[in-house]
Amino acid sequence: MRRLFFSQLLFLPFLALAVAQTSPSDSAIHAEHLQPAGERYEVEVPDTLDLAERARLAVHGLTSFLNAGAGYAPYGHTYFNANPPYLSDMAGGPPNWGKIADSLLLARVMCGSEENLDVDAKTLRGMLASPWMNMNPVAPTPLSVAMQALMNLNQLAPNSNLRDIIAGIQAKHIEVAKQEGGKAWYNDSPPDTNATALGVNGYWLRVFIQGRAMRVLTRWSALNNDTEGLAFTGRLAEYLVDPLFWQGEVEPKVVAGADHAHFNGHHHSYTQALLGLLAYANAVNDARLREFVRAGYEYMRCLGIARIGLFGEGCTTGDMVQLATQLSLCGAGDYWDDVDQYVRNHLAELQITDAARLRAAVEQMPRDTRGKNDTTQGPFDTQNESRDNVVERNVGVFFSDSTHPTLIPEHCLLYTICCTGNCTPAMYLAWKSIVSCENGHAQVNLLLNRASAWLDVDSYLPFEGKVVVRNKTAQSLSVRMPGWVHTPSVKADINGAAASTHWLGRYLVFPAIQAGDTITISFPVAGSEERYTLKWRQSEFWKESTNPGPAWEADPEPLVLTCRFRGNTLVEISPRAAGPGLPLYQREEMTATAAPMKKVTRYIAPLLPDW
C-alpha cells in the first residue's frame, strides 16, 4: 500500500539524517487551556446535516483510536475487511500525528465536546516528545503537519514556550532546504514509475512535500509579519511552479498545460501543492499565482464525479473542499456550490457515523485474517496492533475510499489515517465559512446549520426550501442562494412581515436588521435527475492518480450512474454495486418533504483558528 511505503520512505532518512530540534517541555502544553470555554444553549433545530454534530463524532474517533501505550500516538491504518477488525501499522501513524492533533483541536472548537478531554494534552505531549519532531531534510512533512497543529494551539492558548518551538520548526525548514538560482526545495527524487494499485506515480513526492511546507511556513510568516520568511516561501513557490511538474497526461496541440496547472500524477499531492501556492499567493497578493491555482482546481474537477465530491481518495475530497472554500474566500471564484455539494455528499458519506451499520459490513468479512491489503507478516503484534472495540473506537473518523460511489467493497473497507487528517480540517473550514461578520454586516455563504456569535442558521434542506436566520448582533445581512435556486421564487420575511431586500449576484441582501430578528427565507426545492459516467471499476482498489498507470485500461463499457438530487443533496443513486462491503447513500429518509426536528445544545467557541 502506498501509505505504508510512504511512511517507511520517511522513516529511514530520519535515522540517518535527524537534526536535533528544540526539546519541548510540558510547559508548552497546558491541559487547562484545552478546556472548551464557549457559550452553550439548548434549542430546537431541523435534524439536517450539522457539521458541529459531525465534529462531535470526530472528537470521539480522534481520541479513541489512539495507542495509549505509545504516547497516545495514532495508529496508521484500520482494517475493517477482517473479522474481527483491527488497528495496525504504527509506522504510518506517527508521521501523521500532527494532522490528527490538529483535527482534534479544530473539532473541539466546532462542537465544544468534552469527551475524553484528558487525551488532548497527552497526545500533544506525546507528539512533541516523539522522534518525528526531528527534522528530515528531504521529507519534512511530519514536522510540517505538527507545526500546523501547534500554530492552532498557540492561537487558542498563546504560550511563549510554544511560540519558541514553532519558530524553531520554521528555522529548521529554512536551514535544511536546498537553495539555488532563486529557488528552494526539499526533495529532488526522480519521478515514481511504480505501477501501483493506487495509481501513485510521477513527481508526487516532490510536490507534496513542497506544498505542505509552504502552507505552514506562509501562515507563520504572515502571522508574524516576517518578510524574510515570506521571501523564503516565495523561493519554494518558484520551484513548485516549474513546468516540469505541470504536464497533463495528454493536451490539445494548442494548450500550454503548464501555464494552467495541468498535471499527471497523484492528485492529493497536487492538491496539496495548490493549497500551498494559494496560501502564498494570498499572503503576497500574487494574482497570477491565484489564477494558476484556480485553473488547477478546475482541472482537478474533471476527475471522478465532482458533483458529489468523489475524487478517488478521501484526502482529495478533503483537499477539494479546502481549495473551493479558500478560492471563494479570496475572491478567485465563486465555488460555494462546489463546497456545498462536496460536503453534503461524499465528505459526509466518508465519515463513520453508524457503528451498527459498520458492524453489519464487518460481519460479511473473512474471519481469521488480517485483511487482504495488509502487507504485515508474522504474528499479531499486541503492542502495535489492537482488536479492542475497533468499530466503536473509529466512529467519527473518515474512510479513505472515494472511488466507489455506491458500495465500499471488501478490498477497500479500511482507512489510512492520512484521510481523517485531511477530511476533518476540511469540515472545519467549511463550517467556519458558513457565516462571517465584518463591521456589522453578516454574510451567509452556505445554507447549512451553524451557531455563531453574530447569528444562528437553521437549514431545513434538503427536505424543505427553508432557512431561518436568528440574528444576535448583525446590523445587515446577505445570504447566498445556491445555483439551483430560481431567484424570482425566493420569499423572505422578518418576524413574519415581508422583508425589504435586494439581490447582489447570488446573495439576497437585507440592508437593515435588528438584534433578535428572525429572518425566514423560503423557496421551492429543485429536484433533478442527472447521469454521470465513471471509468473506475468497482473491482479496483481506490485510485489516487489522474493516470492509474501504464497497465490500467478503462472499462470499454464504463458505469453510467443515475443520480437523483434534491438541491445539492444526492438522495438516490443507481445502479448499486453488489457484494460484501459498506453500502453508501442510503438516504431514503431524505426524500421526505418535511424536515424532522430535534433538540440540541449549541456551542459557540470564543476563538476560531485561522487554518
The pLDDT of residue 602 is 97
Distance CA 284, CA 293 (A): 14
State mean pLDDT over 158-179.
96
Asked if residue 313 lies in contact with residue 423, where contact means CB atoms within 8 angstroms, the answer is no
**pLDDT, tens only, 351-361:** 999 999 999 99
Residue 490: inside a domain, yes or no? yes
Phi then psi for 118, rounded to 5 degrees?
-65, -15
Total domains in the fold of the chain? 1
pTM comes to: 0.95
| Mean pLDDT of the residues in the chain | 92
Does 489 map to a domain? yes
Q: Is residue 484 part of a domain?
A: yes
The pLDDT value recorded for residue 457 is 98
pLDDT-derived band at 2 (thresholds 50, 70, 90) equals very low
**pLDDT value, residue 198:** 79
- Identify residue 23 by its one-letter amino acid code: S
pLDDT for the residue 184: 98
* Position 505 in a domain: yes
Q: Cell numbers for 235, please give them.
A: 523561493
Nearest CA-CA partner of 170 in 143, 152, 149: 143
Are 609 and 107 in contact by the 8 Å Cβ rule? The answer is no
In a domain, 32, yes or no: no
pLDDT (tens digit, 9 = 90+) per residue, 63-121?
999 999 999 999 999 999 999 999 998 888 999 999 999 999 999 999 999 999 999 99
Percentage of the residues of the chain whose pLDDT score is greater than 90: 86
pLDDT of residue 24: 52
pLDDT, position 25? 52
Q: Are 67 and 384 in contact (CB under 8 A)?
A: yes
Q: Is 382 helix (H, G, I), strand (E, B) or coil?
A: coil
C-alpha closest to that of 215 among 286, 281, 276: 276
- Domain of 515 in residue numbering reads as 434-525
Q: Would you state the pLDDT for residue 369?
A: 52
Tell me whether residue 500 is in a domain. Answer: yes
Task: Decide if 509 is inside a domain.
Answer: yes
- Under 8 Å between Cβ of 511 and 459: no
Q: How large is the average pLDDT for residues 556-576?
A: 97
- Is 488 within the bounds of a domain? yes
Q: How many C-beta atoms surround the C-beta of residue 60 within 10 A?
A: 21
pLDDT of 373 reads 46
CA distance 452 to 458: 11
Least confident of 60-69, 163-172, 363-372, 481-490: 363-372
Sequence-distant (6+) residues with CB within 8 A of 481 are: 447, 487, 490, 506, 507, 508, 523
Q: Which residues of 195-205 are buried (b: 16+ CB within 10 A; e: fewer)?
A: ebbbbbbbbbb
For residue 205, the SS3 value is helix
**Statement: residue 52 has pLDDT above 60:** yes
Grid cell in block for residue 61 = 474517533
Question: What per-residue confidence (pLDDT) applies to 610?
Answer: 87
Q: Write the pLDDT tens digit of every residue in 291-348.
A: 999 999 999 999 999 999 999 999 999 999 999 999 999 999 999 999 999 999 999 9
Q: How far apart are CA 364 and CA 504, in angstroms?
A: 53
Residue 4's pLDDT is: 40
**pLDDT of 171 over the 60 cut:** yes
Q: Could you tell me the CATH number of the domain that includes residue 510?
A: 2.60.40.1180
pLDDT digits (tens, 9 = 90+) for 243-258: 999 999 889 999 999 9
What pLDDT is attached to residue 526?
93
Which spans in 112-203 are helix H? 118-129, 141-156, 160-176
